[in-house]
């Protein structure tokens, strides 16, 4: 059974029909890269998976639990689905370690000691064990994003969503973040990423999803799709980004 | 006009005038209006200046509004990007032309909402002038109240009138801002 | 006619000024508490509460303080609760302060970037948890400069309570000026004392604002 199943999803922002019937299936441990032009609906789709956006029609199944319009338990959803943002969104008034610890303590009622241990472990996982007591403003963009990843991991999600997480970074910092994501993929985390990093998608992705005009236009194995796209839209997209 | 001069003095640091205006602004902004009013009405006669209620009230209100306007307009003037002045100079405009058409106009447009707010505040503050028996709304309300002993209705009505006046004033000022200040001149 | 020395005048004024300070503190403190309550109502899910709060703010910001005071003092007596000048002053100023404070604080909460809301909700925090651990700690830093700035308005507003007979600085000024027939001097001193109360607050607010802007641009 797939871990994430999206069926017939529609979403409108007022008169704007952004998602026009999306179907998507993600297996456990799969790395999905969602690509497409701006306005194709890819970010909106991602944000419906953890409830930051509601949807108007269709269903979302996460780990066996079904979410429909008006019947979505956001809390359980967000305990299973984590998200990392383009703008990092770290809490500026807390240290990196405190950032990572906050949700486990407050939401899961983990004891402070246990939460700290988890936080240290996560920080080590992203390669920032020595920056535990630093404030976000003292860290580089790449380091902040890695802390953001650690923060999401501390809640032990089953799925991690990444919304263009390297787009706001200076080029030389992109690789350190991608290295962490690659490791997560290798460790078996289910990842759904909206990304412009085509090389990464090709090398690490298991499933490439090309979105166009609010629908899944094409999907399949990244290497095949990049080399021989079957639709003209994907072909021209591949051309523009090469 | 009074406050534009004041704003300019502070912004351009004209000596002499600047100190005077700074002192004036700080003094007015850090003391209550009613005290300023009493000072003008009760205090000035000691210096030989006798004013009737209306004159005193108006003078006090002008002085009060002037202080706040000076600051508001000054911030507007300082917010005009320097590039505007440079561009105008490059187009061979004279200093005073630059000031009026480029700087002042933009400054006023930018701070018009804040200035309107302040005008409304002073209008509401006029109710205090009833205390020196200036015949305005509150004074009238007091009068009616003492005659009819129906305090609640009278004051509620007065409060409602003030509220509506403030509403209308805000609309008028905002319309003025839109049509006069923001029209695109040829 | 007694001859009052300058010192006599000033001493009495200063004694009255205590009440000004006390009233300001009470209005500011209670107004703050009510303001928080209003803030929660203003941002609540209930449309009734939201609209009530909006109307409340419009009323208190759109009518003269003097009117509010009169309504409470004179009007209140007619409805049945008898308020002394002191009571009416405290209540009126508290309500007045709360209306402005809640707007200032709402602005501060809204100034916290949306990303903070999104990140904390993605980490499964409830509204109250978000407010308590993420949003309010950031909003409070933003709110402090304009709140101090508003405290100046509160001190000045206490002057109006002299009209319903509450003996604070302005009222004392009226009394003494009538007794000594030297309004110029007396009101002059009154102005100076207010200035001494307000100016440090104004300066502090300005300093805080500068520091806030400097921190932001980093």
Q: Which residues of C touch A151 (CB under 8 A)?
A: 123
Domain count, chain A: 1
Which DSSP helix (H) or strand (E) runs through C196? Answer: helix C183-216
Q: How far is C20 from chain B (nearest CA, A)?
A: 12
Q: What is the pLDDT of residue B98?
A: 66
**Which residue among C158, C173, C194 places its CB closest to the CB of B30?**
C194
Distance CA A80, CA B30 (A): 56
Identify the three-state secondary structure at position A81: strand
- C215: nearest CA partner in chain A: A137
CA–CA gap between residue A69 and residue B73 (Å, rounded): 52
Contact indicator for B137, B127 with CB cutoff of 8 Å: yes
Q: How far apart are CA B69 and CA B90, in angstroms?
A: 31
Cα distance between residue A216 and residue A83, in whole Å = 21
End-to-end CA distance of chain A: 36
Which tokens sit at A134?
Answer: 């630093």
The residue written with tokens 């501060």 in the block is C108
This model of the complex carries an ipTM of 0.85
What is each CA distance from B179 to B112, B118, B173, in whole angstroms?
A: 12, 20, 10
Q: Do B155 and C74 touch (CB under 8 A)?
A: yes
Domain parsing of chain B, residue ranges: 2-181
For residue range C43-81, what is the model confidence (pLDDT) as tens digits? 777 788 888 888 888 888 888 888 888 778 877 766 666
Q: How many CB pairs under 8 A join B and C?
A: 127
Burial class (CB in 10 A: 0-12, 13-18, 19+), C170: buried
Which positions of chain B have pLDDT values less than 50? Answer: 1-2, 6, 9-16, 184-186
Contact between B66 and C211 under an 8 Å Cβ cutoff? The reply is no
A108-129 b/e with 16+ CB inside 10 Å = b? eebeeeebbebbbebbebbebe
Segment B66-89, tens digit of pLDDT: 778 777 777 777 777 777 777 777
Instruction: Please tell me the distance from the alpha carbon of residue A147 to that of residue A131, in angstroms, as a whole number.
Output: 9
Q: What is the pLDDT of residue C218?
A: 44
C71: contact with B, CB 8 A cutoff = yes
Contact check, Cβ <8 Å, B141/C157: no
Tell me the three state secondary structure of residue A170: coil
Minimum distance, in Å, between the CA of residue B123 and any CA atom of chain C = 9
The token duo for A145 is: 């994003």
In three-state secondary structure terms, A132 is coil
Which of B28, B29, B31, B48 to mutate against chain C (most C CBs within 10 Å)?
A: B31
DSSP B104: I
Nearest to A161 by CA among A70, A3, A33: A33
Q: What span, in angstroms and rounded, lies between the C-alpha atoms of B45 and A242?
A: 85
The CA-CA-CA angle for residues A93, A94, A100, to 5°, reads: 145
Strand partners, A194: A34, A163
Burial (0-12, 13-18, 19+ Cβ within 10 Å), B55: middle
Contact C208, C148 (CB under 8 A): yes
Looking at per-residue pLDDT, the higher value among A79 and B148 belongs to A79
Cβ distance C124 to A151 less than 8 Å, yes or no, reads no
Q: Which A residues, 88 through 117, put their C-beta within 8 Å of a C-beta on chain C?
A: 89-93, 102-103, 106-107
Looking at residue B13, what is its pLDDT? 43
Contact call for C71 and B156, based on CB within 8 A: yes
Residue A185 confidence (pLDDT) above 80? yes
What is the model's pLDDT at position B127? 77
Q: What pLDDT is recorded for position A180?
A: 92
B chain contacts of residue C59, beta-carbon cutoff 8 Å: 163
Residue C28's pLDDT band (cuts 50, 70, 90): confident
- Answer for the pair C65, B146: CB distance below 8 angstroms, yes or no: no
Reduced to 3 states, what is the DSSP secondary structure of residue A228?
coil
Q: What angle do CA C13, C17, C19 make, to 5 degrees?
A: 130
Q: Which token pair is A112?
A: 């402070």
Q: Which chains touch C (3 or more CB pairs under 8 A)?
A: A, B
Chain B CB contacts of C194 under 8 Å are 30-32, 35
pLDDT > 80? residue A131: yes
Nearest Cβ partner of B47 from C156, C158, C184? C184
Q: Average the pLDDT over A214-232 and give the result.
A: 85
Q: Mutating which of A48, A78, A90, A91 best tests the C interface, going by the most C Cβ atoms within 10 A?
A: A91
pLDDT at A145 over 90: yes
Q: For residue A139, which phi and psi values (nearest 5 degrees)?
A: -110, 155
Q: What pLDDT does residue A161 have? A: 94
Taking the CA of residue C50 as centre, how many other CA atoms within 13 Å lie in the half-sphere pointing to its CB? Answer: 6
Smallest Cβ–Cβ distance between B124 and the set C64, C170, C187 belongs to: C64
* Residue range of the domain that includes A150: 4-241
User: Could you give the 3-state DSSP secondary structure of residue C165?
Assistant: coil
Predicted pLDDT at C215: 64
> CATH for C6-216, among 3.40.50.300, 1.10.3720.10, 3.40.50.1110, 3.50.30.60?
1.10.3720.10
A90 burial type by CB count under 10 A (0-12 exposed, 13-18 middle, 19+ buried): buried
pLDDT in tens, B93-107: 666 666 667 777 777
Pairing of the two strands A31-36 and A190-194: parallel
Chain mean position to CA A169:
16
> Could you give the 3-state DSSP secondary structure of residue A210?
strand
Give pLDDT, residue B67. Answer: 78
Which residues from C are below 8 Å from B165, CB to CB?
none
CB atoms within 10 A of CB A181: 26
Least confident span in A90-104, C72-86, C186-200: C72-86
- For testing the chain A interface, which of C111, C115, C119 should be mutated: the one with the most A CBs within 10 Å? C119
Distance CA A145, CA A123 (A): 11
Per-residue confidence at A132, pLDDT binned at 50, 70, 90?
A: very high
Interchain contact, A92 vs C126, CB within 8 Å: no
Predicted confidence at residue A83, as pLDDT, reads 94
Whole-angstrom distance, CA of residue B172 vs CA of residue B186: 25
Which residue shows structure tokens 């994907």?
A234
- The fold of B2-181 is MetI-like fold (1.10.3720)
CATH of the domain at A177: 3.40.50.300
For the residues A116-120, what does the mean pLDDT come to?
93
Domain boundaries, chain C: 6-216
**What is the nearest CA distance from C81 to chain B, expressed in angstroms?**
13
Q: What average pLDDT is seen over chain A? A: 89
DSSP sequence for A49-63:
HTTSS--SEEEEEET
């Amino acid at each position: 059974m797939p871990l994430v199943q999206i069926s017939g999803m529609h979403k409108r922002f007022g008169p704007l029909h952004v998602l026009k019937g999306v179907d998507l299936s993600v297996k456990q441990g799969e790395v999905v890269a969602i690509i497409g032009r701006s306005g194709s609906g890819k970010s909106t789709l991602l944000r419906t998976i953890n409830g930051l956006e509601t949807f108007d029609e269709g269903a979302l199944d996460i780990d066996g639990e079904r979410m429909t319009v008006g019947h979505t338990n956001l809390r359980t959803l967000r305990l299973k689905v984590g998200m990392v943002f383009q703008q990092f969104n770290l809490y500026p008034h807390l240290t990196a370690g405190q950032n990572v610890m906050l949700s486990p303590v407050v939401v899961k009622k983990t004891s402070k000691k246990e939460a700290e241990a988890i936080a240290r472990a996560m920080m080590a996982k992203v390669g920032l064990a020595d920056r535990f007591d630093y404030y976000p403003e003292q860290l580089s963009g790449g380091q902040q994003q890695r802390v953001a990843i650690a923060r999401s991991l501390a809640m032990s999600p089953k799925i991690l969503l990444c919304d263009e997480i390297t787009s706001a970074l200076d080029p030389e910092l992109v690789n350190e973040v991608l290295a962490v994501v690659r490791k997560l993929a290798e460790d078996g985390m289910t990842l759904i990423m909206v990304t412009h990093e085509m090389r990464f998608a090709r090398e690490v992705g298991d499933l490439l999803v090309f979105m166009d005009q609010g629908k899944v236009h094409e999907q399949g194995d990244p290497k095949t799709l990049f080399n021989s796209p079957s639709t003209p839209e994907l072909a021209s997209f591949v051309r523009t980004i090469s | 006009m009074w406050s534009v001069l004041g704003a300019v003095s502070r912004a351009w640091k004209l000596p002499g005038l600047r100190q005077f205006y700074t002192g004036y602004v700080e003094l007015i902004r850090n003391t209550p209006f009613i005290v300023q009013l009493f000072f003008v009405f009760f205090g000035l006669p000691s210096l030989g200046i006798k004013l009737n209620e209306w004159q005193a009230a108006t003078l006090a209100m002008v002085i009060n509004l002037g202080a706040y306007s000076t600051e508001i307009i000054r911030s507007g003037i300082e917010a005009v990007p320097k590039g505007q002045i440079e561009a105008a100079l490059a187009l061979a405009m004279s200093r005073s032309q630059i000031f009026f058409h480029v700087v002042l106009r933009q400054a006023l447009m930018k701070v018009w909402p804040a200035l309107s707010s302040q005008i409304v505040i002073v209008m509401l503050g006029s109710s205090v002038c009833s205390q020196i028996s200036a015949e305005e709304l509150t004074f009238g309300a007091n009068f009616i109240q003492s005659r009819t002993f129906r305090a609640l209705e009278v004051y509620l009505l007065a409060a409602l009138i003030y509220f509506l006046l403030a509403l209308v004033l805000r609309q008028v000022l905002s319309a003025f801002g839109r049509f006069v200040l923001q029209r695109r001149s040829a | 006619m007694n001859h009052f020395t300058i010192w006599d005048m000033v001493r009495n004024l200063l004694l009255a000024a205590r009440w000004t300070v006390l009233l300001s503190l009470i209005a500011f403190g209670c107004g703050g508490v009510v303001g928080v309550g209003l803030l929660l109502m203003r941002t609540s899910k209930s449309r009734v509460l939201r609209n009530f709060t909006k109307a409340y703010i419009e009323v208190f910001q759109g009518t003269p303080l003097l009117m509010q005071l009169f309504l409470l003092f004179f009007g209140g007596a007619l409805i049945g609760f008898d308020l002394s000048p002191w009571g009416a002053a405290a209540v009126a100023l508290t309500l007045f302060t709360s209306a402005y404070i809640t707007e200032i604080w709402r602005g501060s909460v809204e100034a916290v970037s949306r990303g903070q809301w999104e990140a904390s909700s993605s980490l499964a925090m409830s509204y109250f948890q978000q407010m308590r651990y993420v949003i309010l700690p950031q909003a409070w830093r933003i709110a402090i400069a304009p709140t101090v700035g508003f405290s100046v308005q509160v001190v000045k507003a206490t002057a109006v309570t002299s009209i319903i007979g509450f003996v604070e600085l302005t009222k004392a000024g009226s009394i003494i000026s009538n007794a000594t027939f030297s309004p110029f001097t007396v009101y002059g001193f009154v102005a100076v004392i207010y200035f001494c109360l307000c100016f440090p607050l104004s300066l502090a607010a300005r300093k805080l604002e500068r520091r806030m802007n400097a921190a932001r641009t980093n």
